[in-house]
Every structure is written in structure tokens, then in C-alpha cells.
Structure 1
């Protein structure tokens, strides 16, 4: 299994570069989420993001998360500023492996090829996330936010798709993964809300882990949500319905199965920890995946990978980091 750690730069109180009505922290999060979505379609790939929403993380924290997870490759996604133009990428300016250098070659080639950015070249710097990570690492600078020409491209969601696809193509080339090299996707990179589809016509068309979750929810709980491999309110509500159903079946909680994670559902939640098995563990794994925390198989078995994923989510959301999913962790997952 190839483990790719994606780090959307900046976040929270740190907007990064700002210009032309754009903020770096918002753009790189969109690119990173789209990149994760593309990579998860490939065989044998696990993905973990340093952040999946607008929060501040220190540079050391980002590196530590990747190191603890045992990532095979670290990618920090950024947007440049300073009046230049185009794309450039960085690796550490100290001792690095030949793989790090070769990987930079591949990433530079694939990203420039699909975006047609002006190529500013392959560079080296003493950036903390490159210096403190234990695996081959790269920091990409995708256009200049204060250059009107570059900024106009960055305002186009289809172009953000191209940037994400270029990163995915580079990773596919580096790790010899199937399905990575392709033209830029036509759909916008921003997360989209699934539209109701009572006929469930898309059931046999969509592929991906979220689509599998959606099919399982429909089958197991007699629902009819869209099977589109997109995580939106409809899928989140279905997961809450599944949780409420299981709490009623297994623990006689007497909850209304309405898909709303309110105070009654929170109080009804049980504590799930390593060694647990069953549908509640499956729901926990499914929502962790949908919220951007990779954990391997979604199989209803609370093993070491699930515990690690719970700990990562708790750490990212300032919860007690104990690897045990109780009412507080479930509430934050369904927030």
C-alpha cells in the first residue's frame, strides 16, 4: 500500500498569500481535496491530509503527522506570491535521497505538462516541512496569486482540477500506479452536495470508496441516496441514520431515525475502541474516510489502523487523543 500525505499549506489564522480577491489557504485546500479524491481511485493507495478544513497547524505538526503515519511521500501544496509567474517546486537543500530528486523531476514534468504553467524550474530550500519529514518530500508552488494572469486561472475551478490532476499524474508515475495519468477531469474540484436520486440510477456507474459506502447504506438501511462518490449532506445524513438504527437495534435507545446528529443521538452513542467489530465500527470507519482521514479497509473491524485514524482525527480537532471513539468524537465527526 502506497501512503501519500497531502499538506494544504497555511490555514486558520494564517491565510498565506493574498491577492486578486483570492486567499492561498482556500485555493490549496480545494486542490488538495481534489487530489485526494483522484488518488483514492487508484489501486493500492492510502491518502491522509494534514487538514480538511480551515484550521491552523504548525509546520512541525504537519511533518510529525506524516512521520507518525509512515507516509511514503509528502506533498505540500502552495500558491506563490511576489510578482512572478508560473510553477516551481522545492525539495530540501540538505542531504536528500536520489528518490527525492527523481520524484521532483516527475512532479515538475507532469504538473507543467497538464497546466501549461510557465516552468520556473526545480529548486531547493530549507523549508521546515521538507527538512523535518522522514520520507521523500516536495513543496509545490502553483502560480502567483498576485499576478493577474495566474490569478485568473486560479479563479477557474476547472484549472484547479488540472493542478490536482498534474500532481496525481506525477505520483502515479513515481509509484507506477494504474489509472493516474489522464487528462484533467471535467468536474469542479470543490466538494459538491449529492442531489436526491430516488431511482438510484447511478448505482452501477459511480466507483470509489464513497460510492461503495453509499451502496452499502442503501442496501443495509433501505435508503435511496445517490450513488455518486461525492460526500455531501445526503450521505452524512444517511450515515447518521445508520448509526441511529444500530443504536436502537443493539442498545434499545429509542431514537428517532431522522439523520440529524442532535443531543439525543450524542447521549445515545456508545464508546467504540480497538477490538470492536460490527456495523457501528463500520459507520465510524466510513465517516472517518468521508471526512478525509484515511484508514485502509472499511471492514467493520476496529484494528490498529482505525485506532490510528481516530487519533489523527482527534488531534486535528483538538479532542483528547486516545484512539477511542466516544460521544464527543462522534459528534465532531458528524459536525
Structure 2
């Protein structure tokens, strides 16, 4: 039985960050925590949860860490809202964090990615800091900052319950993947479904999820979008931890045979590191290769802009889920080369 300790920041007389329209960090983090807990309880098993608070109360930073330590938690997450004039999401581990904490952070970060992309919310990356709750806890620990309460665009998201729910669920998925929590069995109202598609949906196909499948890999296989898969399958939202053996619907009008990829030799990959803001022939090489493996970047313009960074992130989310940063480096190059070769 895994032990999960959740720390909703601030509380009581400590309001945390404050924004316009009655936004208080201490209230927002409780909402996010509740969405997180609800998703864990409905989706996974073999865990127990303790929290710093579920009401408007306050505990000192040392008390928060001490409670988690004395309980023997397996994972610790501190949930916060940012301020200071920036924009976007970021998460933290302690400056001298263990490898376990860094792995935990990378997994949470990867699970948050789809929500950030869906809401066009900037990703400020994985960071480290000397925060007390990270420094004083003995178990793998991460601190999240969902958005900036004093930024107009971010504040609008913080007033969007769908965004808060999606982020809370993303945190839950990150914890579940890190702790390898088993998924709850979902009752099947049709235990012996017909292998034939419904007559009302001509051309509809079914697919049985295999080990290693993700929403992205299935979408690529059938040359469709992840959104189309999600719309056709209620509750299919987790891009990394699909239920092996579950049968899903592939929407009508799709083709099981996407256009063949030309040989890998036609796509030489650049060496070194490329990131947003770079430009030149090396970026063009990367863009051609990403397009070839169906992580579309749009036009091959040699500019490492938002679209190219997003394509790199999506590729990493599928093939390097523990290292999703939108930066092209040696690991991404090696995996991209292998995928190109496999598709040749």
C-alpha cells in the first residue's frame, strides 16, 4: 500500500498569493488537491492519502514536512499558485534532490504536458530550489506552481474549473505512474461486445491496447488526432498509462495504413543541442525528421519556434516520458533516429 502525502500550500491567516476577482492561492490549491484526490480514488487502487489540510487552516513548513516524514510517505507533493509577474506552469525539486525526486518530477512534468498544450499554457520547465518542504522531507518530493495569479491570462485559467480539474488529474496521473499504482477495474456493461462495428457508424474500427501503447502512438498508427480518439472513447484521457487489453473505438473515416515513411537515410539528424530561438539548416533537418514520423511542425522554415518545440515535446512525451523539455539533445536524437529507422 503506497502512501501519498499532499500539501496544499498556505492556509488560515496565510492567504498565499492574491489576485484580482477574489482569487486566493490558499483556496485554489484546495480545489486542485480535491480534484487530484477524486481522480486517484476513482481510477487507481492500493494507496492511502494524508494531507496537510482540507480546510482553511495553517501549519508551519516544518510541521508539513515532519508529518510526512513521521508517516513514512512514499511521495510528497506540495501544490501552489505562483505570483510575480510571470506566466505559465513550473515544478521544483530540492537543489540537492535525490535521483528518485528527479524521476518523480520528470514523470509529473510529462503528465502535465497535454493539459498545458490543450490550454496553450506556457511551460516554464523543471526547476530546483531551496524550499523548506523539499529540503526537510525524506521521501521523493515535488512542488508545483500551476500559474501566476497576478497575470491576467493565467488568472482567467485559475477561474476556469475545467482547467483546475485537468491539472489536478494530471498531478494524480504523475503520482500514479511514479508509484506504479494499479488501475481499478472498470465494469464492462457489454462483456461480450460484437466484433463488428455498429451499423450506425460505418467504417468504425476497434483496437485492443497493447503493452507500450500511448494515445499518441495509436493516433499515429491510424493517422488521426488524439482528440478524435478521446472523443470516440469516453474517459480515454491518459496519454501514458493506457489499460492493456482494453478495446477502444477507432473513429470512422480513418486509414490503418498512413503514407509510408521514406528511408531514414533521407533524414540526417543534426548533432548538438537545439532549442527554441535557434535557426538554420540544423533546425530544418530536425523539422523534416519530425514531420516524417508524424510529429508535425508545419512548414520546414529552419526556425525553432513554438510549433517545433511543441513537436519535440510531443515526441518526448511518447518516447522519452521522463525527459520532456522541448529541447533537442543527444537522447532525443538517438530515439528519433531509432524511430526513423523502424519506420523505414
TM-score calculated relative to the size of structure 2 = 0.51
Specify the SS of the correspondent of 1:76. strand
Mapped partners of 2:103, 2:174: distance in 1: 11
Higher helix share: 1
* Aligned residue number for residue 146 of structure 2: 142
Q: CA deviation at 1:69?
A: 1.1
The answer to whether residue 134 in structure 2 is matched with residue 168 in structure 1 is: no
The answer to whether residue 14 in structure 2 is matched with residue 9 in structure 1 is: no
* Aligned residue number for residue 156 of structure 2: 152
* Aligned residue number for residue 109 of structure 1: 110
Kept in 1: contact 2:81–2:145 (CA 8 A): yes
Mapped partners of 2:61, 2:98: distance in 1: 22
Q: CA deviation at 1:111?
A: 1.2
Larger radius of gyration: 2
Specify the SS of the correspondent of 1:11. coil
Task: In structure 2, list runs of 5 or more residues that go unmatched.
Answer: 185-213, 216-229, 236-344
Aligned residues: 185
Deviations for 1:158-190, whole angstroms, at most 9, x for unmatched residues? 11101101101111221222339998x99xxxx
Kept in 2: contact 1:87–1:112 (CA 8 A): no
Structure 1 segments, 4+ long, off by >4 Å, are: 180-183
Specify the SS of the correspondent of 1:105. helix
Mapped partners of 1:112, 1:77: distance in 2: 17
* Aligned residue number for residue 89 of structure 1: 91
Kept in 1: contact 2:77–2:141 (CA 8 A): yes
Kept in 1: contact 2:8–2:53 (CA 8 A): yes
Kept in 2: contact 1:114–1:162 (CA 8 A): yes
Q: What is the alpha-carbon root mean square deviation over aligned residues? A: 2.1
User: Which one of 28, 46, 56 corresponds to residue 44 of structure 1?
Assistant: 46
Mapped partners of 2:70, 2:33: distance in 1: 20
Mapped partners of 1:55, 1:176: distance in 2: 32
TM-score calculated relative to the size of structure 1 = 0.53
Q: CA deviation at 1:134?
A: 0.7
Mapped partners of 2:88, 2:173: distance in 1: 19
* Aligned residue number for residue 61 of structure 2: 59
Mapped partners of 1:47, 1:34: distance in 2: 13
* Aligned residue number for residue 99 of structure 2: 98
Kept in 2: contact 1:2–1:44 (CA 8 A): yes
* Aligned residue number for residue 281 of structure 1: none
